Amino acid sequence: MNISHWFHSLPRATSRNLWLLLAAALATQNIAVFHNSQNANTAVLAILVWGGALICLEDRLEHLQLRPSRTALWFGSALVVWVLVRTALVLQWDGLLYALPPIAGLALALLARPCRQIGPFRDALFCLMLLPAFALLMRLLPEQPISLLTASMAGLLLYSLGFPVVVDQRSVLLSPGGGVQVLAACNGLDMIALVFCTAIIFLLAFPLRSNLSRLIVLGVAPLIGLLSNTIRISILTLVAGAGNGKGSFWFDFFHQDTGSLIFSGVAVFVFGLCYLKLLEPELGPLPKDVPSPRDRQPLSIEPRRQAQPCLELSQARLPAQRIDLNNRMEMKP
């Protein structure tokens, strides 16, 4: 009985619901493959990108009507099958994996609209394009300047806190004690790119009107990622200086994906707070003088008192008019 009730509570198998189910399946498969084959920051970025695409389409999903052309239907179906099969074949790092989300988004758009009418899906497709842009950004940005800058900032932070620190190019050393060496894998480039891509997702999902605010967002986002990773490198230096080098619990915790993921989450959270501060003035103040429904008193309508005298006056004039009419009739020969 419960199973039959559960089946009756399911949504109907309309074309819109089937399209939403296919979109959820493509997103889930892609995020799962990113989680199994890439590092933690990249998996978090995949979740943010698909979530941003959903937010960009949120207002249109309720009234979505699928009207694809025959060519778009066949081409979109072929792309969906190819994306599902190709994603299932990814077992380790694969550059094509970053291009599969925008291809999947294009396939879903073609299943909903003809090729020339996919404009409503523009922002969502642009969000999905951030994954290949992230991979390209990681390849093009120089590694050495960012590593040297991170080491210098970590040394400056420890020196301002009163620790005897020595910075030698990539190395951050405590005297006496140990230290760390900032290499390409831990220079925070992925964290910087993650926060920057998050900024673009926020601008697409919750757009700002002011151009100055947009420039501030795009400038602050990399700084937040850089500062977050600088704090992480400083903590690693303190842990190594205390004699807990590589192989110890605390060093591995902050050095591997778990600790890096925590600092990435903190960086995205801080950026979200900054973005909210810039967005609040553009939303406008909430009305304060509007009473709540509980405080509203029912309107009392008083009867009109002047209606009755007017009626009496009009009735009083009727006999006079009749008398006058009778007099006129009598005066006629």
Given 119, 139, 159, the domain boundary residue is: 139
**Is 247 part of any domain?**
yes
Residue 221 CA to residue 206 CA, distance in Å, equals 16
Identify the domain containing residue 236 by its residue range: 141-282
Whether 197 and 252 share a structural domain: yes
The larger pLDDT score, comparing residue 250 to residue 194, is at 194
- List pLDDT tens digits, range 262-303: 888 899 999 999 999 998 887 766 555 445 444 545 444 445
181 membership: H or E segment, kind and range:
strand 179-181
pLDDT at 331 over 50: no
Residue 143's pLDDT band (cuts 50, 70, 90): confident
Whether 45 and 130 share a structural domain: yes
Whether 106 and 181 share a structural domain: no
**Is 231 part of any domain?**
yes
Whether 70 and 193 share a structural domain: no
**Is 51 part of any domain?**
yes
Whether 268 and 151 share a structural domain: yes
pLDDT at 218 over 60: yes
Give the side-chain half-sphere CA count within 13 A for 106. Answer: 14
Would you call 70 exposed, middle or buried from its count of C-beta atoms within 10 A (0-12, 13-18, 19+)? exposed
Whether 148 and 98 share a structural domain: no
Whether 182 and 134 share a structural domain: no
Given 263, 282, 301, the domain boundary residue is: 282
Residue type (1 letter), 297: Q
**Is 304 part of any domain?**
no
- List pLDDT tens digits, range 58-113: 877 777 788 888 898 999 999 999 999 988 888 777 778 899 999 999 999 999 88
Number of domains in the chain: 2
Report percent pLDDT > 70 for the chain: 80
- List pLDDT tens digits, range 151-164: 999 989 998 988 88
Whether 122 and 229 share a structural domain: no
Cross-strand partners of 167: 172
Whether 195 and 259 share a structural domain: yes
Given 105, 139, 173, the domain boundary residue is: 139
Q: Kindly state the average pLDDT of the residues 36-42.
A: 83
**Is 300 part of any domain?**
no
Tokens of 316: 């009083």
Would you call 245 exposed, middle or buried from its count of C-beta atoms within 10 A (0-12, 13-18, 19+)? middle
pTM of the model: 0.74
**Is 221 part of any domain?**
yes
**Is 298 part of any domain?**
no
Residue 139's pLDDT band (cuts 50, 70, 90): confident
Whether 61 and 182 share a structural domain: no
**Is 50 part of any domain?**
yes
Q: Give the pLDDT score at 11.
A: 62
pLDDT at 243 over 50: yes
pLDDT at 207 over 70: yes
For the chain, give the mean pLDDT.
Answer: 80
Whether 172 and 276 share a structural domain: yes
Whether 161 and 274 share a structural domain: yes
